[in-house]
Amino acid sequence: MEVTDGRTRLLGTVGAAAPDQPDVLNQLGFNWVERNLKLKEGLALLEKAVKLRPDDGNLLDSLGWARYRHGDHQAAIKVLERAAALELTYSEVRDHLGDAYWRTGRQDEARRSWEQALSLKPDPADTQKIKGMLSTRLHKPGFLLPIILTDLVSWLVRCLWYNVRVNKKIPHSAVSREIGQCSVSCAPRLDSAPSYRAWRNRT
């Protein structure tokens, strides 16, 4: 069952009465796309709005975001880059562009785009969201090294202690057992690390 509210119904009524008004088409199309109500119809409205006013960065941003929501990330980047060139002080364009860059594996460009968005002073809610993405999505695998080294040192200490206790060379079976125990203890530690979870789950 389709869920709508008063604002959406009003926009739909206005859109039907003014089918060639880019701002109206933009409001209705973006509302549908952002709320995941009518993605295909919303995209069509935004494409029509841009066709009527092709050099409007705000309209291009809406169209680029609609294409992103449809999963067409490469097409979204092309439109959003054009929007960003036209709207030099609009933080939301750079936020959207950062998301599209990220989805296509262009992480450095995503970081720069999000940092540019922050420099344009977005509202507090968007600021927190962008800071969250910068802190969780852009970790490098190198941060795992201290955890791995800690477990390696722990394993070596356990091996030395075993050697002292039996007063002879460490048997191969004991070494294997110690390595296995280290591996078992290491996995939960990694999995519980917030930075590791963010890096592992990124898409």
Q: Are residues 113 and 153 in the same domain?
A: no
Percent of residues, the chain, with pLDDT higher than 70: 58
pLDDT digits (tens, 9 = 90+) for 30-65: 999 988 888 899 999 999 999 999 999 999 999 999
Examine residue 48 and state whether it is found in any structural domain, yes or no: yes
Global pTM? 0.62
Domain co-membership, 57 together with 119 = yes
Distance from C-alpha of 44 to C-alpha of 12, rounded to nearest angstrom:
14
Sorting pLDDT into bands at 50, 70 and 90, what band is 164?
A: low
Q: Judge whether 21 and 51 are in contact, CB under 8 Å.
A: no
Check: CB of residue 94 under 8 Å from CB of residue 109.
Answer: no
Given this model, what pLDDT does residue 196 score? 42
Nearest to 97 by CA among 137, 131, 63: 63
Residue range(s) defining the domain that contains residue 78 = 6-137
Residues 84, 111 within the same domain: yes
Whether residue 1 is contained in a domain is answered as: no
User: Of 94, 113, 137, which residue sits at a domain end?
Assistant: 137
The overall average pLDDT reported for the chain is: 76
**What's the mean pLDDT in 173-189?**
48
Tell me the pLDDT band of 186, cut-offs 50, 70 and 90: very low
Which pLDDT value is given to residue 114?
A: 95
Q: What is the CATH number of the domain that holds 129?
A: 1.25.40.10
